[in-house]
A and B are shown apart, each in its own frame.
Chain A
Amino acid sequence: MTDVATLRAMARLSGVELPDAELTALLPVIERTLAMLARLETLPLTGVEPAAQYRML
């Protein structure tokens, strides 16, 4: 579960100011997105080099 205060703090860290009413409205969408992102933490990616830039050829 995510609350509006946490979202407000995250948004500010990225330089985005959002009124609480807007954050509250966005909350369900954000929670769905965060759930998708959380899946990334469950993947076996230890030791995998990130593709910071795709193939320089």
Chain B
Amino acid sequence: MADLVFTSMVDLARMIATKEVSPVEVTKAHLDRIAARDAELRAYITVCAEAAREAARAAEAELMSGRPLGPLHGVPVALKDLVNTAGIRTTGGSKILGDAVPAQDATVAARLRAAGAVLLGKLNMHEFAYGPEGLNAHYGTSRNPWDAATARIPGGSSSGSGVAVAAGLAPGALGSDTGGSIRIPASLCGITGLKPTYGRVSRAGVLPLSWSLDHIGPMTRSAADCALMLRCLAGYDAADPTSSVLPTPEYGAALTGDVKGLRVGLLRAFFLESAAPEVRETVERAARALEGLGATVDEVALPHMDDMAGASSAILAPEALAYHAEWLRTRAADYQPDVASRLRMGAFVTGVQYVRAQQLRTVVRDAVDAALARRDVLLAPSTPIAATPVGDTEISIGGVTADVRASLIRFTRPFNFSGHPACSVPCGLTSGGLPIGMQFVGRPFDEATVLRVADAWQRATDWHARRPPMA
């Protein structure tokens, strides 16, 4: 049963419901693997072993009693450690909240429990979600499992989520995405990560980084598993003032495996043209493969992409500082240095600049909508580069020296700014054996089409099924 830890969530749910395997057995397999591997991988900040065993036993008893089961009955999950969990510490990857134990579950945690999921534990992350590398000075940086010889960044900020799912330490996890924090670790760890539309999944009870840019979403090993998790997570929540009242479809039903006639807009300017050559060629090959599956592909450009760095910072930095101001005054030394520096940058953005950025947001949102008016999805690399060694701050992209941090968020950030749904899927490996990811971007609240094309891609390829060397 060693493969239980690499079985999909869809299959685990089915196998549990048909009593082919017990929730206790599935949970034990994951806890055993965490015990064996996590000292090296550092995916978890807190492992809830006893609570998970107890929840699995309860799930088994319910199964035997013949009561109706939730869609994730008995299936283990893990949560990024900024999702509040009643009675379980929620650190935000920080020293400051190292002993903070919430009284209530976040809405997303409660919804996963209500769906029958078994919580394995809380996952590592860049401190307070403010960094795309996935660095953590307090709990140790998670190790990217794709390179056994060199310690490489897992990508962040949902670093533990990326590593745990890639290495079989959880079949699915929750991440949060403010500038790419689901899609970047998904890309660098070779898994599938969905940032839903802003408003689709409740943020209530999740530690904020930037209220107007934060998104919560699933990170799994397939689009089908993302669809299963999204089905449990999505929907109106009165506790989140930006939660959408739109109905949520049955995402699994959208996964037809068919992309014939689907219109894909390939983003070359700003995106493909500034990616590392291996990434560019891989995504171009994927676009041709989608054509081979019956999709039509044309090229499209989005305006103002060169303004994204400034405009996103003008929103993110002051919103983050507003949340952290008191701690920054009283406990500055308890932040890791890179996060403290970024937080302080919020002090140098004026109110007018914040409003200008929000004005530009209207323009960019309308431009993405316009690009999608005659297309079903847009396609771009998720990141311009693969995972870099921990500690590297610069990288050569096509002979040009670039900042690692700025490069990691370059392609993901525009869709936090616009709020459109985007899903990163594995699409190849570099010559050094590191994962390359591409993202499908869809119309607002049309996660179903995004997942449909991602799933069709995964039915036609096996990149998502590859296992990292350290797994």
Instruction: Kindly identify which residue among B325, B328, B360, B444 contacts A40, using a CB–CB cutoff of 8 Å.
Output: B360
A1 and B193 CA atoms in complex are apart in Å by: 42
Q: Hey, what's the 0/1 contact readout for B360-379 against A, CB within 8 Å counting as 1?
A: 11110100000000000000
B419 to chain A: closest residue by CB = A54
Is A37 a contact of B314 with CB atoms below 8 Å?
yes
Chain B residues near A37: list those with CB within 8 A: 310, 313-314, 349-350, 353
A38 to chain B: closest residue by CB = B310
Instruction: Provide the main secondary structure of the chain A interface.
Output: loop
Is A14 a contact of B346 with CB atoms below 8 Å?
yes
Chain A residues near B363: list those with CB within 8 A: 45, 48
Q: A21 contacts the other chain (Cβ, under 8 Å)?
A: no
Instruction: Kindly identify which residue among A17, A43, A54 contacts B307, using a CB–CB cutoff of 8 Å.
Output: A43
Q: How far is the CB of A8 from chain B (nearest CB, A)?
A: 10
Q: How far is the CB of A46 from chain B (nearest CB, A)?
A: 9
Chain B residues near A50: list those with CB within 8 A: 355, 358-359, 361-362
Q: Hey, what's the 0/1 contact readout for B236-254 against A, CB within 8 Å counting as 1?
A: 0000001011100000000
Is B358 a contact of A52 with CB atoms below 8 Å?
yes
Chain B residues near A51: list those with CB within 8 A: 358-359, 361-362, 365
User: What total of chain A residues lie within 8 Å of the partner, measured CB to CB?
Assistant: 32
Q: A3 contacts the other chain (Cβ, under 8 Å)?
A: no
Is B348 a contact of A7 with CB atoms below 8 Å?
yes
Chain B residues near A43: list those with CB within 8 A: 304, 307, 356, 360
With a 10 A CB-CB cut-off, give which of B318, B329, B346, B360 has the most chain A CB atoms.
B360
How many residue pairs at the A-B interface have CB separations less than 8 Å?
Answer: 102
Q: B167 contacts the other chain (Cβ, under 8 Å)?
A: no
Is B344 a contact of A18 with CB atoms below 8 Å?
yes
Q: How far is the CB of A54 from chain B (nearest CB, A)?
A: 5
Q: A29 contacts the other chain (Cβ, under 8 Å)?
A: yes
Beta-carbon contacts under 8 Å, A8-53 to B: 10-11, 13-18, 26, 29-30, 33-34, 36-41, 43, 45, 48-53
Instruction: Kindly identify which residue among B242, B311, B341, B344 contacts A56, using a CB–CB cutoff of 8 Å.
Output: B242
Q: B198 contacts the other chain (Cβ, under 8 Å)?
A: yes
Is A53 a contact of B212 with CB atoms below 8 Å?
yes
Beta-carbon contacts under 8 Å, B27-72 to A: none
Q: B384 contacts the other chain (Cβ, under 8 Å)?
A: no
Chain B residues near A10: list those with CB within 8 A: 347-348
Chain B residues near A52: list those with CB within 8 A: 358
Q: How far is the CB of A22 from chain B (nearest CB, A)?
A: 8
A35 to chain B: closest residue by CB = B310
User: Known contacts being A55-B444, A57-B199, is A41 close to B347, with CB within 8 Å?
Assistant: no
A49 to chain B: closest residue by CB = B362
Q: How far is the CB of B237 from chain A (nearest CB, A)?
A: 13
Chain A residues near B275: list those with CB within 8 A: none
Instruction: Kindly identify which residue among A16, A38, A48 contacts B329, using a CB–CB cutoff of 8 Å.
Output: A16
Chain A residues near B246: list those with CB within 8 A: 57
Closest 9 pairs between A and B when the two form their complex, measured CB to CB: A36-B310, A50-B358, A14-B347, A51-B361, A40-B356, A45-B359, A48-B359, A11-B347, A54-B419
